[in-house]
Amino acid sequence: MIRGFIHLVFPHNCACCGSDILAPANGICANCLHELPETGFLNYPGNAVEKIFWGRLDINHAAAAAYFTKQSVVQQVLHHVKYKAGKETGSQLGRWMGYRLKECNWFNEIDCLLPMPLHKKRIQERGYNQCDLLCEGISSVTGIRQIPGLLIRREATNSQTKQHRTERWMNMQGVFEVDSRNLLQNRHVLLVDDVVTTGATLEAMGRELLAIQGLKLSIYCFAYTLPL
């Protein structure tokens, strides 16, 4: 009764369609969550995300859970997470990713989750790193340990989607570093990001990680941007 009264006074609406949501831990409704266009990449070796990194990064696995296109539900939820203080939505998307990760055939290989770092300026603007939220959601479902704070982004960069691959690579030099590297030795880490488009940012972070002794790297993103 108390929850119903609070919901009546302070309604909680879906970030996509605006319908009422009774569960305060969720940012989008069940119908919109069901509409997320799944890729099926987790159990598909040689998928489109893995191909991005062929010849660029020595990864074990790479996948994204949903397809990203403009004016889509995926774009709506990501915009809400990044720019509308949608912390509950970020955690919910992470749980959605986690359930799919548990069903894949390489789930048991992963030792820990690492969120893609955000520059401190962006964190101050948003109040959080959306990739931390994704990792929290994944961890709550899978039980895989999240290790926040080890990956550091020293510089903020603008969108690079319209730049040539060489320009993108040059812009990412020296942007990332890894703290307490010994904690990751001989571990299979899962690097988690929100969207993969060109892969330049993930490649730069991945190279820093692969310099650590015995580290194995896999990548998991919420969304993959379909090429035009």
Q: Are residues 60 and 17 in the same domain?
A: no
Verify that 132 and 214 share a domain, yes or no.
yes
Give the global pTM. Answer: 0.91
Residue 5: per-residue pLDDT: 44
The answer to whether residues 63 and 101 belong to one domain is: yes
CATH number at residue 50: 3.40.50.2020
79 and 141 share one domain? yes
pLDDT tens track for 95-121: 999 999 999 999 999 999 999 999 999
Enter the DSSP assignment of 60: S
Residues 54 and 28 in one domain: no
Asked if residue 45 and residue 129 are part of one domain, the reply reads yes
Where do runs of H (alpha helix) occur along the chain? Answer: 2-9, 30-35, 48-52, 73-83, 87-102, 120-126, 130-142, 165-171, 200-210
Number of folded domains that form the chain = 2
Boundaries of domain holding 71? 38-225
16 and 43 both lie in a single domain? no
Average pLDDT of every residue of the chain: 90
* Residue 169 sits in the same domain as residue 182: yes
DSSP 222: E
Q: Within this chain, do residues 31 and 122 fall inside the same structural domain, yes or no?
A: no
> pLDDT (tens digit, 9 = 90+) per residue, 139-156?
999 999 999 999 999 987
Q: Do 24 and 126 fall into the same domain?
A: no
